[in-house]
Amino acid sequence: MIEDNHEYREAVCLVINRDKSLKLVGAYESVEEALEQLKVGTETPDIILLDLHLPMMYGLDGLSQFLELAPDSDVIILTQSSEQEDVLRAISLGASGYLLKSASVTEIKACIHKVAAGGAILAPEVAKYVMQTLQKKSSKAGNECNLTKRELQVLELLAEGMIKKEISEALSIAYDTVDMHVRRIYQKLEVSNAPAAVTKAFRSGLLDA
């Protein structure tokens, strides 16, 4: 966890440490400190919780470096910022989740588990930016990527952070059908999971960063 607010950092760390299914491997006040630990550390985290407004380096400026040093890690932005530019840039750089600090500890833990299972999550307050931008670009990029109308719908819901079961319920289609669409999306975008699919959608022009 990278968070410069001591009280907030300690509160979240306490909750994580009390959950037997989670293990906290480090908590740092700055991007620089966390990057140095990743370079020399023996344990690579599965999940990195990253604040944005940090001393010295801005959180998003360090995001690519975290993913370069720990390519198998997923980054969840945990911040006060609901600025559209921050949200879109975070996803375009490869973040697997974006939560606001107004989220409850239960929501934070649920997000960690969901991303660890291969999902993506966006706070409801910021998901609208991704959805609006996706809808603006979906037709053009969908044609370029050879995505069908239904596949674009599924991709939009993946961008919103839904898992396959939730997409099945939202679109009133069978789970197996959703699974088929997701596999085809991954094949066409040449990715292996939902966060990568959303990131590729940004980088290919499907979404404006």
Task: Give the pLDDT of residue 209.
Answer: 47
Confirm whether pTM is higher than 0.75. Answer: no
pLDDT in tens, the chain (209 residues): 999 999 999 999 999 999 999 999 999 999 999 999 998 877 889 999 999 999 889 999 999 899 999 988 999 999 999 888 888 888 878 888 899 999 898 889 988 998 888 777 888 777 766 666 655 555 454 456 778 888 888 888 887 778 888 899 999 999 999 999 999 988 888 887 777 777 777 666 665 44
CA 201 to chain centre: 13
Q: Return the sign of the alpha-carbon dihedral for residues 174, 176, 177, 181.
A: positive
Alpha-carbon gap, residue 14 to 20, rounded angstroms? 12
Cα 188–Cα 208–Cα 148 angle in degrees, nearest 5: 30
Alpha-carbon gap, residue 123 to 129, rounded angstroms? 11
Non-local (6+) Cβ contacts of 108 within 8 A are 12, 15, 49, 78, 99
Alpha-carbon gap, residue 128 to 125, rounded angstroms? 7
Domains with residue ranges and CATH for the chain? 6-117 (3.40.50.2300), 127-203 (1.10.10.10)
Task: Give the pLDDT of residue 57.
Answer: 93
Note whether 198 and 91 are within 8 A (CB): yes
pLDDT averaged over the chain? 84
Instruction: Give the pLDDT confidence of 30-79 residue by residue, as tens digits.
Output: 999 999 999 887 788 999 999 999 988 999 999 989 999 998 899 999 99
